[in-house]
Structures are given as structure tokens and as C-alpha cells.
Amino acid sequence: MGTGMLHIDLDALAANWAALDAKTNVETAAVVKADGYGLRADKVGRRLACAGVRRFFVATAEEGASLRAALGDGPEINVFSGHMAGDTALIRNAGLIPMLNSAEQAARHRSALPGAAYGVQLDSGMNRLGMEPADWAALRADLETGPLTLVMSHLACADEPDHPQNAAQLASFTEMTAGVSVPRSLAATGGVLLGPGYHFDLCRPGVGLYGGFPFADARPVVRLSLPVIQVRNVEAGESVGYGAGWVADTPSKIATLSAGYADGLIRYMSDKALLWAGDTPCKLAGRVSMDLLTVDVSALDVVPDHLDILGPHQTVDQLADEAATIGYEILTSLGPRYARRYSGDAA
């Protein structure tokens, strides 16, 4: 096989949801946007539904419609981007619940789909999505008379527990939602870990389900194995790859692997990231190119037919550190060329 193999453990995903759910005394939903963080929302969504998830969150109405086709009737599907122009048919036909972000969206939804459920997203200090306090104050009485299902906001710094913005946003959200009769939600993965004061009525973890920081106790969900195309001997003084940036100090053995930045392996990790042959680390030698990696396998007596770049020895966040990015980007950038192999119930 000339493409990498992405192994996805759906039972580990479900276990991570259960572990986060156990940290709260409220309902725990699941975020499956960006096609289930790159792991396929249909597979991820069905496994989580089997584990007990009854509310899901996606980024767009298009994602919501695809998830509805996979899950069927029953689970609630909420849309972070709200009710955008052109979304009406998708929201109606798939039974989606938009999180309204502005007065304009509120007017559009209630005019186009009178009587259809909606939630409201508030801006508690992140300045990204949601109604400003003044807009909410002006619309609140009217919005609360309709089929309002949820009032939510989002923390900007929850992965830094001591950051003062966490407490500031908690205070803002608490003030804005005082007396609200419907469920409230502030916490994603990081907010779950901040403790009960942030949990309100509903938590909605995302990256922690998939094995990502800040949920340090998460079970690994993905392993990425890359096939070795060719192995060559390189003499001292010879260079490898574009720009001749890596030069052998001693006679070396170089393996060329089938994967590159077209597959989400970011160029910045050139000469830095490790791959693994069992328990033995092997370092990238030279630049990441579009379709190929070159790896120093001099420490191996026998070069296997593949090396792992994600797995038990290297998490998405550890690989992200070598690429000067975050685990979210690594996960969601894993390209369509990988063959995906699922294990676990509902696979």
C-alpha cells in the first residue's frame, strides 16, 4: 500500500467521553465539527450516540445535515454558526437547532421558520461569535418567549486554568444569564476540567474526546502508520532532501516514506519530528515535502515496512509541539489520502 494507514479507536473515543462525563453532574454533549475532527463525523457520531450522547454540536448547517443522515432522528444537533443566509432548508429538513449569534440571525430564523427551535450564543468576552451583552439585553425578553432550547458561550483561555479571563468570562456569562429558565452551557473540554463552577447545565467537550490536550488523561484515539517506499545508504557529507539542509555526519541509512505536507504533516516539523519503529525513535532527516518524508533509520537493524508518526509513543499534541502548532490542527489536517481503519463498536 502506497498510502498511510490511520487507525481510529472508536472505543477509546467513547471512553474519553465517558471519563469527561464522569467529571460533571450535568449532561455531557459532544462536538463533532470539522468532520469529527478529521476522523469522520458519521463514524464518530454513531459511536458516541451508542455511548449515550444525545446532543451534538457542529460548526455549520451543512455539517449538521450530514450528521443527521448518519444518526437518523432522535439526537439533537446544534449549529454553532447559527442561521446563515441560505441555511433555512437545511435547518428545516434536518431538524437542526441553530445557535443564534446576532439580532440579524434571530430575525432571519424566526421569520423563515416560525416555531422552530433555536439556541442563543452569547459573547462573554472572546469577541468571536455571539450576541453582545447590549444586544442580548434588548432581545432577551422576546427570545425567551419562543422555543429557546439553550443559552451558551465559549471560553477563550480554558486550557490555561490560571488565566484571569476564565473567571471574567464566568462572571459575565453568569450575569447575562441570571434567571434564564432554559439550560446554560459554557464549558468545552477545558471548561469541564476547570471544575463545577463552569459546568452549568450542559458541557460540550470536543478535542478531549479525540485524545487531545488539555485532557491529559485521555486515551489515544489515533495511530498513523506511514509506509516505507525505499531505504538507501548515505555517505558522510552527502545531503538529503530539498535545499540540501540535512547533511550526514557519518554513514547513515535513510528511509523514504509516503506522506508529506499534502497529508497534513506540516513542513515546520522538518528535521524535528520523530517517527517510531516499535519502541525505537527515528528522526526526520531533511525537509517535509509534498508527498514524502525522509527519516534517519540508522539505529535500526531491520527497517520495517512502516513507521508510526502518531501512536502510543507520540500524541497529536507532542507532534504539534514539533510543528509549532496545536493538536487540533494536526488532527483536522490529516488528509484524505490516508486509508482509515476503525476499531470498536459501531465501526
Catalytically annotated residue among 242, 268, 272, 342: 242
Q: Are 258 and 292 in contact (CB under 8 A)?
A: yes
Distance CA 133, CA 175 (A): 10
Neighbours of 69 (CB within 10 A): 10
Task: Report the greatest alpha carbon distance in the chain.
Answer: 76
Distance CA 283, CA 235 (A): 17
Buried b (16+ CB within 10 A) or exposed e, 107-144: ebbbeebeebbbbbbbbbbeeebbbeeebbeebbeebe
Catalytically annotated residue among 33, 43, 253, 261: 33
Neighbours of 179 (CB within 10 A): 6
Task: Kindly state the DSSP code that residue 343 receives in the 8-state scheme.
Answer: E
Residue 230, all three cell numbers: 525505499
Distance CA 13, CA 268 (A): 28
Strand ranges, E, within 210-326:
222-234, 239-240, 246-247, 252-258, 274-277, 280-283, 292-296, 306-310
Distance CA 337, CA 76 (A): 32
- Asked if 118 is an active-site residue, the reply is no
Long-range contacts, 169-177 (Cβ 8 Å, 24+): 169/124, 169/125, 169/126, 170/124, 170/197, 170/198, 172/124, 172/125, 172/133, 173/122, 173/124, 176/122, 176/124, 176/133, 176/136, 177/122, 177/151
Distance CA 96, CA 116 (A): 9
- Asked if 37 is an active-site residue, the reply is no
Which residues are part of the catalytic machinery? Answer: 33, 242
